[in-house]
Structure formats: C-alpha cells, structure tokens
Amino acid sequence: METKIFQSDQINQAAALLRQGELVAFPTETVYGLGANALLPESVKQVFTVKGRPSDNPLIVHVADFSMTAEFVESYHPLTEKIVKHFWPGPLTLIFKIKEGSLNPVVTGGLSTAAFRMPDNKKTLSLIEKTDAPLVGPSANTSGRPSPTTALHVYHDLKGKIAGILDDGATQIGVESTVLDLSGEVPTILRPGAVTQEALEEILGIEVPLDKHLVKESETPKAPGMKYKHYSPDTPVLMINSDDWEKALIWAEANDKKVGLLVTPKIADKYSSADRFVFADETVEAATRGLFSGLRALDEAKKVDIIFAEVFPEDHLGLAYMNRLKKAAAQNYFSEM
C-alpha cells in the first residue's frame, strides 16, 4: 500500500479515504493520531492490527464539536458544560457513560464508557467535518513505541500500512491529552497531560483526584496510556536524578555501555562528549515537547546501548512528562549497583 502525505489543500481526499474505510493519520496539538471512521467497526479493527495494539485497549473518539457527542452519550456530568467551555478544543479527553449500542465494542474495549476529545488543530477539525463522522485516533505509531510528534515519525512506523498522513508539522505539546473520567460522581484524572490537575481544580473549584493505578497486562484499562510500560524505545531507558549524573556515567563506562543523553542544555553542556538529544531550553514545556522525539532519535540512530533521561518535579506539566518517561523507562531509575 502506498502511504500518501496530504497537505492543507488535500483534506477532501483524506476525508474520502476515511469514508471508504481506510486509515489516515492526523495531526493534533499533542501527538499524531491514527484515524479511522469510528462508525465503521471493520476500519477500527484495522487500527489494532496496524498498531499491534491489544483489542481491550479503548480508543479516543475525536469530534469536531461538542454536539457530536450527543448521539453517543447517555448522560453528562453536571460539570461538563463548564469543562468543555474552558478546555475544548484542547488537550483534554473526557470519559462519559454511553448509550447502549451507540458505539461498537471495538471502539470502547467492551466498556460501558467511551472517551471523547475535540483536538485543537484546524486541519483535523476540518478533516472530521469533511468525513462527516467522528474519528478514533490512538497515537499513530507501533504500539508501545514512543508516540509520533511529526508526520515523519508516523511514516517511519506505518509506511505501507495506512492510506495516508495529514501533515501539519511538529506538534506543539508533545505528549498525549489529559484524560478526565466524568462517568462517576467525582471527576478523576486517569492520565495526566497539558491540562493540569491544578488548572482543572482552579476552574471547577473542587479537588480533582489523580488515579495513579498502573494497569497490568492482564487488566482492561479504562483509558489509553494506563499500562505499566508504554512509550518505550527498543533501547533501555534509565531515569537519572539530579545528584546521580556523575555516578551513572561512571557506572556506564565501567560496564562498557555507550550512553545517549536526553537532557536540557545545562546537562548537555556538562557532558558534551556523549551522544545526546537536547531539549530546546531548560523548561519542562520544552522537555515535554521533545520527549518522544528524543527517545526516537536516540533509539533509531542505533549508536547507544542505554538512554539516560533527565527528570523533572512531578507537578503541573511535570506530572505529564514524568508519567510518560516512567513508562518509557519501565519505572526504572539509576541506582548504584
């Protein structure tokens, strides 16, 4: 299969393929999604096949406006209107109880709930409108690999497996959306992202708990990205605390390990002899934007035996960064042997 790259003036062609049941990757402000018409179960099944993704893992349904959810949602949480007003379009996925039979179980993972998002990307909103159907959109990569933040990343993983990719350059945020469960009484974050716990609590005026449960391989997750290990390159990753860089590099040299660094400029300047991917600046925003690109670049170069990654405080956006990094590293920090 030829995988076509679509530009802004070719959105109609991409939408036609989706209506026909083909798969087309699309850009969002977070990462690129692997699009299939959510109303065509056979197309959705192709998503799992192409990604090598477990079929019990629910998919996010992407809509062009909030009104598109009404066909599927059984009931809305009382805070839904306030949440949508402040955070849609944007990097926030909402989980609702759905009407029985309104979505095929292949979309929901067999659950009585479904996840919905309105992405903040004009090209993709136009694509959904022109398809005249919501789109499922898990990250457009091989399952378990770092999520794609450019069309080139998608092409690298899925060339010849999907019909097309709608290109809109690099994504702005770099990690997947926050997932907020609104199917129960208390809004609960199932996956942290750029819409932070603090931002939600400020707008809603209530405490919004974070579910830190890590789903084992034998469990069915309620939302994507809840697995214990995820986003992993083939090259092993270790997280390095700020006081451990010298010890970690000494350990690597003693064990004849070629190291790649995933770091801010300050750390990169200090250890300039190592292979490295350097974030644009010292901020957690830059680190989050570059995390998946850096993991991919160091892994695909095949020059290193292990990746040492810089950590950030686990608050605000740092919570999302560390959530993804911990899973990429299978929860492993460097510690002296």
CATH of the domain at 274: 3.40.50.11030
| DSSP three-state, residue 136 | strand
- Read off the amino acid at residue 112: S
As given in the structure block, the two tokens for residue 306 are 């292990």
Residue 334: the pLDDT is: 96
pLDDT per position as a tens digit, 70-124? 999 999 999 999 999 999 999 999 999 999 999 999 999 999 999 999 999 999 9
Same domain, 150 and 250: no
Residue 218: the pLDDT is: 56
Higher pLDDT pick, 57 / 34: 34
Residue 228: the pLDDT is: 47
Q: Which range of residues forms the domain containing residue 139?
A: 4-204
Same domain, 290 and 170: no
Residue 273: the pLDDT is: 75
Same domain, 30 and 101: yes
Which CATH number goes with the domain that contains 78?
Answer: 3.90.870.10
| DSSP three-state, residue 125 | helix
Higher pLDDT pick, 191 / 1: 191
Number of domains comprising the chain: 2
pLDDT per position as a tens digit, 217-251? 556 667 666 654 567 899 999 999 999 999 999 99
Residue 219: the pLDDT is: 61
Same domain, 255 and 323: yes
Long-range contacts, stretch 193-200, CB < 8 angstroms, 24+ apart: 193/30, 193/91, 193/92, 193/320, 194/30, 194/90, 194/91, 194/288, 194/317, 194/320, 195/87, 195/90, 195/91, 195/92, 196/316, 196/317, 196/319, 196/320, 197/319, 198/315, 198/316, 200/83
> What number is the average pLDDT over the span 12-41?
98
Last residue of a domain, one of 160, 179, 204: 204
Same domain, 190 and 304: no
Same domain, 193 and 265: no
Same domain, 125 and 271: no
Mean pLDDT of the chain: 93
Last residue of a domain, one of 163, 179, 204: 204
Same domain, 199 and 243: no
Decide if 337 is inside a domain: no
Same domain, 246 and 173: no
Local confidence band at 63 (pLDDT 50, 70, 90 cut-offs): very high
Give the lowest-confidence range in 42-46, 78-82, 204-208, 332-336.
332-336
Same domain, 246 and 193: no
Decide if 177 is inside a domain: yes
Decide if 217 is inside a domain: no
Local confidence band at 55 (pLDDT 50, 70, 90 cut-offs): confident
Local confidence band at 272 (pLDDT 50, 70, 90 cut-offs): confident
Decide if 320 is inside a domain: yes
Decide if 175 is inside a domain: yes
